[in-house]
Structure 1
Amino acid sequence: MMPGIYTWDVKYDFHAVGQGLFSTGLLACEHVEFRWVYDCGTVSAQHLLTTQIDYYHRQLPRPPEALPFIDLLVISHFDKDHISGVVELLQHCNVRNIVLPYMPLWQRLVIAFEERSGPRSPLTQFLLDPVGFLRNASRGTIERIILVMPVNARPDEPNPEQEPLLPDAPPDAELDEISSALVFDELPEHELQGDEELTSMISGNITHAAGIPQVVAVRSGSALSIHKIWEFVPYNDASMVRFKNSKFEKAVRIHTNNLKTSTKRQIKEAALADLKKTYTNTFGNSSRHCNVISLFLYSGPVFGAIATVFMPEDEKYYSDLNPKYHLLDRVSILYTGDGYLNSLKSIDDLMTVLGAYRCNQLAVFQVMHHGARGNWKAGIADTLMPDYSIFSSDPEATRTGHPHAEVLRDFWNYHPIQVDKNYSAHFIARGWYIFPPVAGKRRIFKRI
């Protein structure tokens, strides 16, 4: 077939919400636009987030007499500083796809107890039934909820020379055949066996009744692609979960029916109170496990895309080394939420799942947990070598002190940018995609 050339533009935005994270993106390819949101929360003043949600909402194209659409909403984990604005966002928009890290009920309840969330609080209701809560919280429609399964075992070692499988070349078709629909492989049915809750969540929505979102599951590292031009790759690392306890799991199973199906509030609250006692006896009062699972998200062009310019604008730079713009062949981004990359194993596992090619394409890296030292390992910046590193935090908050100085020093040569209560960060890129794909430049990553 004759080669075809598709032009595209992409924009990444990190919004000024203080100690939290609210990031949005836009891909425009010919006549198609695809919009995504990664996290929407803050523990700083909530009005900061409300202002940014309102600003974002005004930028969305609005169909006549309908709410505007977001194509993809990713919730990395369930801390307030990452989800406090999700309900507000759902009041403004229809959502085609919501992506969540999959956690069993017992693990979600651990989060509720550690957050000291009461039985009637929105967080507790969300953790008891994420699918039902999101459906009821939305003023518009949610078409699909995608659950990303955890990586429970170390994958095979990566091959630095191996590139992702090239997409099939599209047919000799007109440009209007490009679609913004996400294409991905669902988890096979046989892999759902043994997890009654997950099976129930998926089979319970199999009819796709009006107003009921479809629920599907995917593997970590399974690409969600847009016309095989752009891809999103979620990664749910469960290796940090070291608090699994059969006694607490058994107690949750006993109360599951009352927690999820009872219409009597007193019965639910009694079940939660009993489980809280079991939790305290099992784990004590000082455990903190909320951030051990945080969904990473890689986003970038499928192999073969070429960037002509990558430009940041209106940032608060930490380092004087920052150029105003880059002429790059790299435009991909990696969101980490509050995830952990604090050991050789956690770093290698992430790079193995993403693959060498993707890890070498990072133009923007959102630094884990606002730049906290506990989520970081010295040398990770030299391993990933991003062109820009984002610290979304409130440096004036004395309680947290994020970003920590040693983490900031590690990323000093990788154009660190502060996103806080006053400063946002915006990146734009332009490029094209050639079918069949052509080989791009290689950049071999270093290991710590």
Structure 2
Amino acid sequence: MREFERHSDNPEAGEELVAALEERGDLILSPLVELAFTPLVVMRQHSVGHGGFHTGAMGRGSARLRWVYDCGASRTEGQQRLSEEIGILAGEPGDAKRRIDLLFISHFDRDHISGIVQLMSALEVDTVVIPYLDDLQRAIILAGEIADREEAGASVAPGLTQALFDPVAWLTEFGAKSVIQVRPGGPGFDGAMLLSYGPGDGPELSEDVEGAKPVLVRQSDDAVNAADDHSVVDSGSGWMVTHFGRRFGDWCFLPYVTSAKQSARDAFRAAFDGLIERREDESMIAAFHRKMEETDFPTKVKATYKEHELGDANAVSMSLYVGPFRDEVYFSRKPLRAGQKRHEAGPGWLLTGDAKLAQVGRRNDWCTFYKPLKSRIGALMLPHHGSHLNFHEDILDIVEEDCLLFACRRAKLGDPLHENVWTVVERRPVAIVSDDRETSLMQVSGATVLKYAERELSDLAKEWC
């Protein structure tokens, strides 16, 4: 152990030592050895009010890995805060562009994507991960946005209509090198695949990997995905993080997509087929784009949407677990800061976007998927900004009693949470992330044995936060 402490500030020397010991047959990446290479991690839920902006970075030596989950806000104050936070991440003018390795978009509602263009213009984005949206689902999302904006006396942003017409082309236009679409989960899906890897296990890389890199492991066949491939994968596929060809601290990203019931999709199609007057071989989303040129079309959409109560048709949202996939002992439990409060939490976060988990079948499938990660989840985002319409107490069964529950909401909503939610969660640690800077959440974790961990953590935090 003393020898690894001596090399902990020099990853290259440590790698050479591990290789020499393996060749000699003394060890095969035992837990003791992996401790020396466990990276430092900083994760933050930014205070942008009713929206979402989660960022994270991990580092060891010169290696860096950065990710983002959602980037949007709904109100002027929140959008201003979001713009400021993106500017901080981008660094000083004239600096080399920083890179985001993974950008996850939970769904395409305005309050979750309004800052995507600014983000992708200010930083280089390698891979974007989105829910798989067929033609009908993209039309459903657009109709819901039209109805909401018409209710508010506003129009739909042109960028959103372009994004929904062809999400892959839109993201590629703004510099994404790869766009991965995740199909909805369902009965029989669980998140245990990555948990099955033991010390030294993992997918074989087809080429040398320099630095820290996320590697996609498919649910279907454990195949490693090419970096520039625009693929569609199943829920249960996930990203393992490697470091110079080795696994990097057992860290993973595990998405799961909830979807609308087929009956809700059929009801939407029946309600709108006549209104949009589709032409032969015309897709539904293309028909919406054509009809939006008519001045009275938004009013008709709002009326139809509300008359048929079609809100549940727009139920696609991608949740994301970010954290260790094997044994959380490699990451120390560090304080999670909520404003001026501190809470001891585990290293993993479960982010839920606008998942509609009140519906029993959808909720049961979601809980089954994430329950194997229970001991690793230290922070759980309450779905849909803590809305009581999308909450059920059963979702708390997949986390420990000391897990921090948080919701991203406007400070002006009045009571922090609806009484139907509050009566269930009031005995647990709860935080509200509003558009007040003091309400942002930040957590750090990493191996406690690293001799110069404080210095490296300071560098990582200054660079990314």
Q: Is the structural similarity TM-score above 0.5?
A: yes
How far 1:376 sits from its partner (Å)? 0.4
Residue from 219, 226, 233 that aligns with 2:241: 226
- 2:183 is aligned with what amino acid? M
Q: Give the aligned partner of residue 146 of structure 1.
A: 180
- 8 Å Cα contact 2:265/2:313 also seen in 1: no
Q: Give the aligned partner of residue 75 of structure 2.
A: 44
- The alignment covers a number of residue pairs equal to 383
Q: Give the aligned partner of residue 10 of structure 2.
A: none
Q: Does 1:183 align with 2:215?
A: yes
Q: Give the aligned partner of residue 15 of structure 2.
A: none
Find the aligned partners of 2:60 and 2:279 in 1 and give their Cα distance.
47
CA offset digits 1:156-215 (Å, max 9, x no partner): 7999xx9921156169xxxx96742222245879xxxxxxxxxxxx9xxx9x9xxxx641
- 2:120 is aligned with what amino acid? L
Find the aligned partners of 1:298 and 1:89 in 2 and give their Cα distance.
22
Q: Give the aligned partner of residue 421 of structure 1.
A: 435
Q: Give the aligned partner of residue 339 of structure 1.
A: 355
How far 1:242 sits from its partner (Å)? 3.6
What does residue range 334-413 of structure 1 map to in structure 2 within 5 Å?
334-356=350-372, 358-385=373-400, 387-397=403-413, 403-413=417-427
- 1:370 is aligned with what amino acid? H
Secondary structure class of the residue paired with 2:40:
strand
How far 1:289 sits from its partner (Å)? 4.1
Find the aligned partners of 2:405 and 2:156 in 1 and give their Cα distance.
39
CA offset digits 1:212-268 (Å, max 9, x no partner): x641111102121112421101101225454222656894882139939xxxxxx95
Q: Give the aligned partner of residue 133 of structure 1.
A: 170
- 2:320 is aligned with what amino acid? L
Find the aligned partners of 2:60 and 2:198 in 1 and give their Cα distance.
17
Secondary structure class of the residue paired with 2:232:
strand
- 8 Å Cα contact 2:405/2:429 also seen in 1: yes
- 1:309 is aligned with what amino acid? R
Residue from 309, 318, 321 that aligns with 2:333: 309
Find the aligned partners of 1:256 and 1:411 in 2 and give their Cα distance.
44
Q: Which range is displaced more, 295-304 or 341-350? A: 341-350
What does residue range 43-82 of structure 1 map to in structure 2 within 5 Å?
43-45=74-76, 46-58=79-91, 66-82=96-112
How far 1:381 sits from its partner (Å)? 2.6
- 1:359 is aligned with what amino acid? K
How far 1:419 sits from its partner (Å)? 0.9
Find the aligned partners of 2:107 and 2:143 in 1 and give their Cα distance.
15
5+ residue gaps, structure 1, are: 190-201, 261-266, 318-323, 434-448
Q: Give the aligned partner of residue 236 of structure 1.
A: 257
How far 1:372 sits from its partner (Å)? 0.5
TM-score (norm 2): 0.71
- 1:127 is aligned with what amino acid? L
Q: Which has the higher helix share?
A: 2
How far 1:113 sits from its partner (Å)? 1.6
- 2:68 is aligned with what amino acid? V
Q: Cα gap change, 1:312/1:291 in structure 2, threshold over 3 Å: closer, same or farther?
A: farther
Q: Give the aligned partner of residue 87 of structure 1.
A: 117
Find the aligned partners of 2:39 and 2:284 in 1 and give their Cα distance.
49
What does residue range 433-448 of structure 1 map to in structure 2 within 5 Å?
none
- 2:259 is aligned with what amino acid? A
Find the aligned partners of 2:45 and 2:432 in 1 and give their Cα distance.
10
Secondary structure class of the residue paired with 1:49:
helix
RMSD: 3.8
Find the aligned partners of 1:91 and 1:188 in 2 and give their Cα distance.
34
Find the aligned partners of 2:409 and 2:53 in 1 and give their Cα distance.
11
Q: Cα gap change, 1:256/1:165 in structure 2, threshold over 3 Å: closer, same or farther?
A: same
Q: Percent identity?
A: 24
Q: Cα gap change, 1:109/1:302 in structure 2, threshold over 3 Å: closer, same or farther?
A: same
Find the aligned partners of 1:420 and 1:271 in 2 and give their Cα distance.
34
Q: Cα gap change, 1:413/1:93 in structure 2, threshold over 3 Å: closer, same or farther?
A: same
- 2:98 is aligned with what amino acid? P
- 1:292 is aligned with what amino acid? A
Secondary structure class of the residue paired with 1:396:
helix
Secondary structure class of the residue paired with 1:421:
coil
Q: Cα gap change, 1:268/1:380 in structure 2, threshold over 3 Å: closer, same or farther?
A: closer
Q: Give the aligned partner of residue 39 of structure 2.
A: 8
CA offset digits 1:8-58 (Å, max 9, x no partner): 211111111111111111122444211111111111212121112112222
Q: Cα gap change, 1:12/1:125 in structure 2, threshold over 3 Å: closer, same or farther?
A: same
Find the aligned partners of 2:259 and 2:285 in 1 and give their Cα distance.
27
TM-score (norm 1): 0.74
Q: Cα gap change, 1:8/1:290 in structure 2, threshold over 3 Å: closer, same or farther?
A: farther
Secondary structure class of the residue paired with 2:43:
strand
